[in-house]
């Protein structure tokens, strides 16, 4: 099935260039010159991925990303000015799935789109004809429940939407409670062979997950750093 990319950028020439380039590789393309109608467009047109520029008129890209993440789990690749590390880090903290600095080669954007879309498929997901019992729909530890279909985490009565990578990392940790995973093991199991682009970003994702859990006193220390080794998710306390 053809995948659709929504490009949100105020540079008309860049939108036209990416529109033509991505269509040449079989993608459907939607474009917007600003982020004012971003959420409405995603809800109505259901793109598979969004390419979002940080520097937008009227409403900046980070604010648009906040609005998207508050409503939808759609993967987002941020376009940032070269050398603007602050925008990259804030974007990742807000739930962006990847980033790319301008100027860039369209081939690199295409590669990143493909990588993010691959990561959007659960590591152990089966084909549509396989038994649905092969992958649990929910993983529960104490009053923490990770919904594998909706990419949400429920803590008691509170529900939180997770970005694709936050979900992948937490999914791996909760499938391996009380087991120390090295950094490489966690990244490979969570994000697969494309993890190299994200190896410096795992700290951002772990910080975001920890901050979420710390809102609830019983779970503030669920994710532990095992110094010199990796990370561990604490399971049922005895």
CATH number where 55 lies:
3.40.50.2300
Residues spanned by the domain of 202: 135-233
| Helix, strand or coil, per DSSP, at residue 201 | coil
pLDDT of residue 72: 84
Distinct helix (H) and strand (E) counts, the chain: 8, 12
pLDDT of residue 149: 82
Q: Is residue 130 part of a domain?
A: no
Same domain (yes/no): 142, 41: no
Rounded CA gap, 143 and 45, in Å? 35
Rounded CA gap, 57 and 112, in Å? 25
89-93, 132-136, 166-170, 207-211: least confident range: 132-136
Average pLDDT, the chain: 84
- Domain with residue 147: its CATH number is 1.10.10.10
Work out whether strand 230-233 and strand 223-226 pair parallel, antiparallel, or are unpaired.
antiparallel
Same domain (yes/no): 217, 168: yes
Same domain (yes/no): 29, 89: yes
Same domain (yes/no): 66, 158: no
12 class by beta-carbon count within 10 Å (0-12 exposed, 13-18 middle, 19+ buried) = exposed
Average pLDDT over residues 65-74: 88
Same domain (yes/no): 115, 203: no
pLDDT of residue 44: 93
Q: Is residue 87 part of a domain?
A: yes
Rounded CA gap, 157 and 146, in Å? 13
| Helix, strand or coil, per DSSP, at residue 173 | helix
Do the Cβ atoms of 96 and 65 come closer than 8 Å? yes
- Stated as kind and residue range, the H or E segment containing 62 is helix 61-71
Same domain (yes/no): 9, 107: yes
Whether residue 14 has pLDDT greater than 90:
yes
Q: Is residue 76 part of a domain?
A: yes
Task: Tell me the pLDDT band of 186, cut-offs 50, 70 and 90.
Answer: confident
Task: Tell me the pLDDT band of 83, cut-offs 50, 70 and 90.
Answer: low
Same domain (yes/no): 44, 91: yes
- Stated as kind and residue range, the H or E segment containing 6 is strand 4-8
φ, ψ dihedrals at 141, nearest 5°: -135, 120
| Helix, strand or coil, per DSSP, at residue 179 | coil
Task: Tell me the pLDDT band of 135, cut-offs 50, 70 and 90.
Answer: low
Task: Tell me the pLDDT band of 119, cut-offs 50, 70 and 90.
Answer: confident
Q: Is residue 153 part of a domain?
A: yes
Q: Is residue 72 part of a domain?
A: yes
pLDDT of residue 63: 93
Q: Is residue 129 part of a domain?
A: no
Max alpha carbon distance in the chain (Å)?
A: 61
Average pLDDT over residues 210-224: 91
Q: How many domains does the chain have?
A: 2
Highest mean pLDDT out of 4-18, 107-121, 137-151: 4-18
Q: Is residue 98 part of a domain?
A: yes
Do the Cβ atoms of 76 and 68 come closer than 8 Å? yes
- Stated as kind and residue range, the H or E segment containing 161 is strand 158-161
Answer with the one of 75, 94, 119 that is the final residue of a domain.
119
Average pLDDT over residues 24-36: 95
Same domain (yes/no): 42, 101: yes
């Amino acid at each position: 099935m053809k995948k659709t990319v929504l490009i949100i950028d105020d540079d008309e020439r860049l939108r036209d260039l990416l529109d033509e380039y991505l269509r040449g590789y079989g993608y459907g393309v939607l474009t917007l010159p600003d982020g004012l109608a971003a959420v409405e467009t995603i809800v109505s047109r259901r793109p598979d991925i969004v390419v979002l520029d940080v520097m937008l008129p009227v409403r900046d890209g980070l604010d648009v990303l906040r609005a998207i993440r508050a409503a939808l789990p759609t993967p987002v690749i941020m376009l940032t000015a070269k050398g603007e590390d602050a925008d990259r880090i804030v974007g990742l903290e807000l739930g962006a799935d990847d980033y790319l600095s301008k100027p860039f080669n369209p081939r690199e954007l295409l590669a990143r789109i493909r990588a993010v879309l691959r990561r959007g498929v659960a590591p152990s997901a089966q084909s549509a004809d396989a038994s649905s019992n092969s992958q649990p729909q929910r993983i529960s530890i104490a009053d923490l429940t990770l919904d594998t279909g909706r990419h949400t985490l429920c803590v008691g009565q509170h529900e939180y939407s997770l970005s694709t990578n936050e979900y992948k990392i937490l999914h791996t940790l909760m499938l391996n409670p009380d087991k120390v995973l090295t950094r490489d093991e966690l990244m490979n199991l969570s994000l697969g062979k494309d993890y190299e682009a994200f190896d410096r970003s795992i700290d951002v994702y772990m910080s975001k997950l920890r901050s979420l859990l710390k809102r609830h006193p019983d779970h503030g220390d669920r994710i532990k750093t095992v110094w010199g080794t990796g990370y561990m998710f604490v399971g049922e306390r005895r």
